[in-house]
Amino acid sequence: MVATETHAYPPSALIDLSSDTATRPTRAMRHAMAQAPVGDDQRGEDLTVNTLQDEAARLLGKEAALFLPSATMANQIAIKVHTQPGDEILCHEKAHIRLYEGGGPALLSGCLLRPLPGIRGIFTPRDIRDNVHPDDPHFPRTRLVCVENTHNAAGGCVWHPDEQQTVAKVTRELDLALHLDGSRLLNAAIALDIPASTLAAPFDTVTLCLSKGLGAPVGALLAGDARTIHSARRWKHVFGGAMRQAGIVAAGGLYALRHHLPRLREDHQNAVRLAEGLAAIPGVYLDPAPETNLVFFDIAGTGLSGPAAMERLLANGVRASGMGGTRLRFVTHLDVSAADIERAVAATGQALRG
Ligand SMILES: *Cc1c(COP(=O)(O)O)cnc(C)c1O
């Protein structure tokens, strides 16, 4: 499939591998959005939003789901419903909620974040036991554990069900709440070839992002039991996320859930091919090997700085994102074909040999 056949846009010379958020709605998705029945979602009267919430809840095996403007808001509302000000949250040191959400847990919920180590973004029951505080007025109250699957900043790494289960077990024993930042959970489900509901099962709440690999223009969901989602709905309003005829954008997400799931496999195959091509470029070091649609590589061996390498890549028609120092990230997605990957490999070789 050629990207230009499915899009209402002229082909671009730029291959945008900076993020899977770069996807634009396809013609068919736009059509679905234009046709969507809508109503006032603040009053629960938007049919398309309600349908999306129901289908997402079913997909994730939860009682209820709430449509939200972004996965950042979904995570922040999850933190809000699980905690009180002064509480502490355990998460990986490179968790999205810690690095990329503007200090939201401190600002919006008054919580401390206690970072846990772990290669590939994965921590263990031992890490939780070693960092949870005893019930003692000297210490902040440990209240919530957050897992990220796939783990973004670690390299799109997949938590396996047994890794999640052991963490969930100790979390229950310690009477802590458990949230999953599953912005890319469907990438994990596709990579493992298991239902998303199996991966979501151990968690009290789950965030799912619609505007990453799924290719919708806007939106995310927070799923959980009916009582928790009822409370989340209040915070959606308070945080200013309650929209009116939101079915227009929800329809993009609904279309994505119905049509774009199986094709995530192509993104993963493209990521493997991209990694092979990059590994053959002198001075480029792949770390880790891609498990899903994220490809992390270090260009220290080329002698270039990260920003200089990105500039050269852009000049050669490829956009990357910087992950600090000489570490760069490419992300495969709906708008990048297998042919684009071959072009990107060639252009990257040109740019970094330069
Ligand atoms: C992108 C991302 C988010 C935030 O998603 P937005 O919809 O852009 O707010 C949260 N968590 C992870 C792991 C992400 O990759």
DSSP collapsed to 3 states, the chain: CCHHHHCCCCCCCCEECCCHHHCCCCHHHHHHHHHCCCCCHHHCCCHHHHHHHHHHHHHHCCCEEEEECCHHHHHHHHHHHHCCCCCEEEEECCCHHHHCCCCHHHHHHCCEEEEECCHHHCCCHHHHHHHCCCCCCCCCCEEEEEEECCEHHHHCECCCHHHHHHHHHHHHHCCCEEEEECCCHHHHHHHHCCCHHHHHCCCCEEEEECCCCCCCCCCEEEEECHHHHHHHHHHHHHCCCCCCCCHHHHHHHHHHHHHCCCCHHHHHHHHHHHHHHHHCCCCCEECCCCCCCEEEEECHHHCCCHHHHHHHHHHCCEECEECCCCEEEEECCCCCCHHHHHHHHHHHHHHHHC
Q: Sorting pLDDT into bands at 50, 70 and 90, what band is 142?
A: very high
Predicted local confidence at residue 334, as pLDDT: 96
Predicted local confidence at residue 6, as pLDDT: 54
Q: Give the C-alpha separation, 110 to 95, whole Å.
A: 18
Give the CB-side neighbour count of residue 126, counting CA atoms within 13 A. 3
| pLDDT greater than 90 at residue 290 | yes
Among the listed residues 158, 354, 185, 191, the one whose alpha carbon sits nearest the alpha carbon of residue 267? 191
**What ranges do the domains of the chain cover?**
15-24+263-353, 37-259
Centroid of ligand 1 to alpha carbon of 174 (angstroms): 28
- Model confidence, pTM: 0.95
Q: Counting atoms of ligand 1 from 1, which one is nearest the CA of 72?
A: 9
Across the chain, mean pLDDT equals 96
76 lines ligand 1 (CB under 6 A): no
The answer for residues whose C-beta is within 8 angstroms of residue 334's C-beta and 6 or more apart is 20, 23, 26, 213, 215, 260, 263, 267
| pLDDT greater than 90 at residue 199 | yes
220 lines ligand 1 (CB under 6 A): yes
Predicted local confidence at residue 12, as pLDDT: 67
Over residues 32-40, the mean pLDDT reads: 98
Percent of the chain scoring above 90 in pLDDT: 95
Q: Give the C-alpha separation, 36 to 57, whole Å.
A: 20
Centroid of ligand 1 to alpha carbon of 208 (angstroms): 9
Q: Counting atoms of ligand 1 from 1, which one is nearest the CA of 95?
A: 13
Q: Counting atoms of ligand 1 from 1, which one is nearest the CA of 211?
A: 7
Contact indicator for 268, 187 with CB cutoff of 8 Å: yes
26 lines ligand 1 (CB under 6 A): no
Predicted local confidence at residue 4, as pLDDT: 41
Ligand 1: residue of 20, 100, 159, 239 to mutate (most ligand atoms within 8 A of CB) is: 100
Q: Out of 3.40.640.10, 3.30.2010.10, 1.10.10.60, 3.40.50.150, which CATH number does the structure's domain 37-259 have?
A: 3.40.640.10
Centroid of ligand 1 to alpha carbon of 70 (angstroms): 7
70 lines ligand 1 (CB under 6 A): yes
CATH superfamily, region 15-24+263-353: Aspartate Aminotransferase, domain 1 (3.90.1150.10)
The residue ranking higher by pLDDT, 11 or 320, is 320
Sole residue written with tokens 């151990």:
202
| pLDDT greater than 70 at residue 219 | yes
Angle at the Cα of 113 (from 289 to 22), degrees rounded to 5?
A: 45
Give the CB-side neighbour count of residue 4, counting CA atoms within 13 A. 7
| pLDDT greater than 80 at residue 96 | yes
What is the residue with the minimal CA distance to atom 2 of ligand 1? 183
Ligand 1: residue of 18, 68, 72 to mutate (most ligand atoms within 8 A of CB) is: 72
Among the listed residues 175, 148, 173, 8, the one whose alpha carbon sits nearest the alpha carbon of residue 72? 148
Percent of the chain scoring above 70 in pLDDT: 96
Contact indicator for 352, 309 with CB cutoff of 8 Å: yes
Q: Sorting pLDDT into bands at 50, 70 and 90, what band is 5?
A: very low
Centroid of ligand 1 to alpha carbon of 282 (angstroms): 32
183 lines ligand 1 (CB under 6 A): yes
152 lines ligand 1 (CB under 6 A): yes
| pLDDT greater than 90 at residue 273 | yes
211 lines ligand 1 (CB under 6 A): yes
Read off the pLDDT of residues 243-271 as tens digits, 9 standing for 90 and up: 999 999 999 999 999 999 999 999 999 99
| pLDDT greater than 50 at residue 337 | yes
96 lines ligand 1 (CB under 6 A): yes
181 lines ligand 1 (CB under 6 A): yes
Over residues 293-314, the mean pLDDT reads: 97
Q: CA torsion sign, 351 to 336 to 300 to 312? A: positive
Q: Sorting pLDDT into bands at 50, 70 and 90, what band is 60?
A: very high
Ligand 1: residue of 92, 152, 211, 323 to mutate (most ligand atoms within 8 A of CB) is: 152
Retrieve residue 233's tokens. 């709905």
Predicted local confidence at residue 3, as pLDDT: 43
Contact indicator for 99, 93 with CB cutoff of 8 Å: no
Predicted local confidence at residue 9, as pLDDT: 55
